[in-house]
Structure 1
Amino acid sequence: MRVGADFRPAWWLPGPHLQTLIPNLLPRRGVRLRRERLELPDGDFLDLDWGPPRRGPVVVVLHGLEGSSRSPYAAGLIRRLAMAGYQGVVMHFRGCSGEPNRLPRAYSAGETADIAFVAGQLRTRLPDRSLGAIGVSLGGNALLRWLGEAGEAAPIDTAIAISVPFDLSQAALRMERGFSRVYQWYLVGRLKRAVASKCGRMPMPVDREKLPHLNDFRSFDDAVTAPLHGYRNVDDYYTRASSRQWLRGIRIPTLILHTENDPFMTPGVIPEAGELSDAIRLEVAAEGGHVGFMDSLGRRWLERRCVAWLEDTVGGS
């Protein structure tokens, strides 16, 4: 089902960029986190940051590109989950927890094996607790792709995906236009620094001399992301890793929140109703930016909507 979102943007945050930037610049109250390291079968590790202990359902938060538990949206979600009685936990993708991972590979928009591993571990460890997941941006794309692959075998009970780049190729093209190039410059710069640092610690199948010249997502993904994660090239990566073609396979209750003015992509990447399985509710707002959704009172509608969905699908504490 595709419907309009019940969201009214703050009048003092017009346009896509203020809604995108201001929520990340305003101070946020966080909560104390407890770190847990999970060893992976391939010799690498993942770090989980657990929110305050709660008795309610467990909700895993999957951050976006170069995000972490310190990202304002992640910190806000964990705090709001705790207030509502949910046990929140941030799963860091490889290399995003503040400590470099051990292998040349890192993470990508098509990463599903690590999500499956964490979900399986939590389901085994906490068999009597309901389990949900919230994926943001890149994390949302990976979550939806995993759910589509898993179908009825998905070991979680509910999911939420926010500001998802459903079509990675179209999203990359959008980031080369207008002010969105500023976001691209910032994010690609962070990615290049991380890879350069890694090249100094271990052998990498990457030409380090080319790194300074990789100034957009498409060139970076072609030279770095694709070869590190088993894709032939950037087109193979974008085609196979995009979540849009996996949506019909999702079988658990899933809420997708999106805006038509997301500066990280065009409205054309938003799936039509016929592309969705019966388990999906896609709510599209005309405005709200990328992971913004600040309403007329300056509050974070996004967090309230996530908690309301969880209450409807897995209940409270």
Structure 2
Amino acid sequence: MAWSFLKRYPQVLVLTISSAVAVAGCLWRAIKRYPSSIIMVPTEENKFIVDQCPSFNEYRPTPWIFNGHFMTVFGVIFRSLPNVLFQRILLPVDDTGGTIAIDWHTQPYKGQPILLILHGLTGGSDNEYVRWMTLSGHSKLNACCVVVHARGCGRSQLTSARSFCAADTNDLRISIQYIRSIIGTETPLFAVGYSLGAGILTKYIGEETDECPLDGAVVCCASFDMHLSTANMEQLLHTYTYNRRLTNNLIRYMRQHEHHFNKSKSLQNLNVNQVYQSKTIRDFDTHVIVPQYGYRDVDHYYSEASSNIWLKYIQIPTLILSAIDDPICPIDGLPVDDVLQNPYLIAIKTLEGGHVSYLQGWWPRKFSYDNIVVVDYFKARLKQMNYQWEQDNNDQKLISICLDQ
């Protein structure tokens, strides 16, 4: 009888079979293994880190999100935005009036480890992934978290006619100098960067070599090769999805700060009308970044912004986390040979994860896999440093975050 019903209504049969296949696929993805590749020089220090961090071995994605595109999209629209309050400091970064926004989650205690967080393109402390990382660092690492913004990002205002740039590490350098000036040299200072922030962080650490004031860093979903990433974004599917959305975000950023560029006499080659006609990130960079920063052309800029050449110079413990299915920053840009020749680096290549997403569990509304990895890594670093800090409200002294310290 049931078969005769299905023959009369074949659409029900199709729906039944499709549903059964989908359920079976989800169940299979829930039980299968997802071993990650861990790339490193097998030093005693690196072995200790890996032994202390079982999360490195496998990332288990949300079973019903089955490719990097869906993972990336759901990472933006599905996660909740937690209510997190910040105290903002405007930090001067040059002699032309430029400032950046520094958002402190809490006022640090003396000796409390600090976690510096760098956002992605046009992001900030109002993004889900930044806030969940902040909550994770605060609750599970017992760290004081601080978000360092790129110029004009995070609902801050530009205070000079100079936008952010993926090749410029000076603002980050001044931010770290400011943080070190108030916490001292003995307090652990860690940093995690996402996407654009990850690339800037990588380049900065490489530039600083053995004088880097950070005690450890995590680079998540970085574009190590800007030429490769840009070409990837110009594929047909990506052009009408990620590229267009990100370009629109950049144009919105430019409109917000347009008055600075209209009245600037030093930027005669920057035409805002051309900027607003940009169809791709390459167009925007050609019209905005190249004339501002004096690059020969956009390819020159992308060469300077590629952080892959700086990995060999890094001399602080650094963890690299990237997904093989990242649709925005291809993992092929990571120079594996340089990782295998630098004892300070550990690279984790996960089978899935998308771009700045790493959702896990059946209902992924809160913490993500990258939060776990970052906390585990810095906990292991604190053990390596033999550093312990426990909050005692009756004995600990709060540190002022004011600029006059």
State the 1:271 CA deviation.
2.2
State the 1:211 CA deviation.
2.1
TM-score, scaled to structure 2 = 0.74
2-side partners of 1:293 and 1:271: how far apart? 22
1-side partners of 2:331 and 2:351: how far apart? 10
Which residue identity lines up with residue 347 of structure 2 in the other structure? L
Q: Whose helix proportion is higher, 1 or 2?
A: 2
Q: In the alignment, does 2:281 pair up with 1:229?
A: no
Identical counterparts, % of pairs: 27
Q: Which residue of 1 aligns with 2:202?
A: 144
State the 1:196 CA deviation.
3.6
Q: In the alignment, does 2:344 pair up with 1:279?
A: yes
Q: Which residue of 2 aligns with 1:244?
A: 308
Q: Which residue of 2 aligns with 1:79?
A: 135
Ranges in structure 2 where 5+ consecutive residues have no aligned partner: 1-37, 41-55, 390-405
Q: In the alignment, does 2:379 pair up with 1:311?
A: yes
2-side partners of 1:83 and 1:187: how far apart? 32
Which residue identity lines up with residue 250 of structure 1 in the other structure? I
Which residue of 30, 34, 37 maps to 2:90? 37
Whose Rg is larger? 2
2-side partners of 1:120 and 1:230: how far apart? 26
Ranges in structure 1 where 5+ consecutive residues have no aligned partner: none
Which residue of 237, 255, 261 maps to 2:325? 261
1-side partners of 2:57 and 2:197: how far apart? 21
User: Which deviations, in whole Å up to 9, do the C-alpha atoms of 1:74-118 show, x marking residues without a partner?
Assistant: 011011111021110000111003132122211111121111111
SS of 2:322's equivalent in the other structure is strand
- Measured on the aligned residues, the alpha-carbon RMSD in Å equals 1.9
1:125-136 to 2 correspondences below 5 Å: 125-127=182-184, 128-136=186-194
TM-score, scaled to structure 1 = 0.94
Which residue identity lines up with residue 368 of structure 2 in the other structure? R
State the 1:34 CA deviation.
1.2
State the 1:52 CA deviation.
2.8
SS of 2:346's equivalent in the other structure is strand
- The alpha-carbon distance between structure 1 residues 308 and 22, as it changes in their structure 2 partners (threshold 3 A), is same
Which residue of 105, 108, 127 maps to 1:51? 105
1:292-303 to 2 correspondences below 5 Å: 292-297=357-362, 298=364, 300-303=368-371
User: Which deviations, in whole Å up to 9, do the C-alpha atoms of 1:139-197 show, x marking residues without a partner?
Assistant: 00000001001100111110011000000011011111244331211111121232244
- Count of residues in Structure 1 that have an aligned counterpart in Structure 2: 317
Which residue identity lines up with residue 172 of structure 1 in the other structure? T
- The alpha-carbon distance between structure 1 residues 208 and 37, as it changes in their structure 2 partners (threshold 3 A), is closer
Which residue of 272, 275, 278 maps to 1:214? 278
Which residue identity lines up with residue 2 of structure 1 in the other structure? I
Higher alpha-carbon deviation: 234-243 or 177-186: 177-186
SS of 2:355's equivalent in the other structure is coil
